[in-house]
Amino acid sequence: MSRGLLLAIESSCDETGVALLDGSRRIVAEAVASQVALHAGTGGIVPELAARAHLRWIDPALDEVLAAAGATLADVGAVAATAGPGLAGSLLVGLSYGKALAWALDVPLVGVNHLEGHLYAAWLLDPGEAERPEPPFPLVALVVSGGHTFLVEMRDHLAYRLLGETVDDAAGEAFDKAGRLLGLGYPGGPAIARAAEAAPGRPERLPRAWLGASYDFSFSGLKTALRRLVEAELAAAGLPPAEEGGRLPAGRVAALAAGFQASVVDVLATKTLRAAEDVGARAIVVGGGVASNAALRARLAAGAGALGVDLVIPRPGLCTDNGAMIGAAGARRLAAGERAGLDLGVRAAWPLARPAGAPGSRRPPTRGATARAYAALRDAEADAAGKVAR
Binding site for ligand KG4 (CB under 6 A): 13, 145-147, 172-173, 175-176, 187-190, 193, 288-290, 292-293, 320-321
Does residue 173 interact with Zn ion by CB under 5 A?
A: no
Does residue 15 interact with Zn ion by CB under 5 A?
A: no
The continuous run of DSSP H or E covering 228 comes out as helix 220-236
Number of residues engaging Zn ion in binding (CB under 5 A): 2
272 CB contacts (<8 Å, ≥6 apart)? 140, 142, 151, 284, 286, 300, 303
90 touches, from Zn ion, ligand KG4, none (C-beta below 5 to 8 Å by class): none
CB of 224 to Zn ion, least distance (A): 25
172 touches, from ligand KG4, Zn ion, none (C-beta below 5 to 8 Å by class): ligand KG4
Judged by CB, which is closer to ligand KG4: 226, or 290? 290
Q: For Zn ion, which stretch binds (CB under 5 A), given 25-33, 65-73, 142-150, 335-343?
A: 142-150
Q: For Zn ion, which stretch binds (CB under 5 A), given 20-28, 53-61, 145-153, 214-222?
A: 145-153
Does residue 16 interact with Zn ion by CB under 5 A?
A: no
Q: For Zn ion, which stretch binds (CB under 5 A), given 139-147, 181-189, 302-310, 348-356?
A: 139-147
In contact, 16 and 53? CB cutoff 8 Å: yes
Task: Give the dihedral sign, CA 165/169/173/179.
Answer: negative
Angle at 174 between CA 11 and CA 191, to 5 degrees: 80
The C-alpha atoms of residue 219 and residue 386 are separated, in whole angstroms, by 37
CB of 237 to ligand KG4, least distance (A): 27
Q: For Zn ion, which stretch binds (CB under 5 A), given 87-95, 102-110, 140-148, 350-358?
A: 140-148
Judged by CB, which is closer to Zn ion: 145, or 149? 145
The continuous run of DSSP H or E covering 31 comes out as strand 26-34
The C-alpha atoms of residue 28 and residue 26 are separated, in whole angstroms, by 6
End-to-end CA distance of the chain: 39
Calculate the alpha carbon distances from 27 to 20, 54, 75, 162 in Å. 6, 22, 14, 29
CB of 379 to ligand KG4, least distance (A): 20
The per-residue b/e assignment along 377-386, b for 16 or more CB within 10 angstroms, e otherwise, is bebbeebeee
Q: For Zn ion, which stretch binds (CB under 5 A), given 55-63, 177-185, 274-282, 320-328?
A: 320-328
Judged by CB, which is closer to Zn ion: 153, or 321? 321
The C-alpha atoms of residue 193 and residue 254 are separated, in whole angstroms, by 9
Does residue 116 interact with Zn ion by CB under 5 A?
A: no
| Residue of this chain nearest to Zn ion (CB atom) | 145
CB of 282 to ligand KG4, least distance (A): 25
Does residue 145 interact with Zn ion by CB under 5 A?
A: yes
147 touches, from ligand KG4, Zn ion, none (C-beta below 5 to 8 Å by class): ligand KG4
Judged by CB, which is closer to ligand KG4: 69, or 112? 112
29 CB contacts (<8 Å, ≥6 apart)? 19, 20, 64, 65, 66, 68, 69, 71, 127
In contact, 29 and 20? CB cutoff 8 Å: yes
The C-alpha atoms of residue 288 and residue 319 are separated, in whole angstroms, by 5
Does residue 321 interact with Zn ion by CB under 5 A?
A: yes
The C-alpha atoms of residue 316 and residue 64 are separated, in whole angstroms, by 21
DSSP code for 166:
B
218 touches, from Zn ion, ligand KG4, none (C-beta below 5 to 8 Å by class): none
176 touches, from ligand KG4, Zn ion, none (C-beta below 5 to 8 Å by class): ligand KG4
CB of 79 to Zn ion, least distance (A): 20
Q: Which residues bind Zn ion (CB under 5 A)?
A: 145, 321
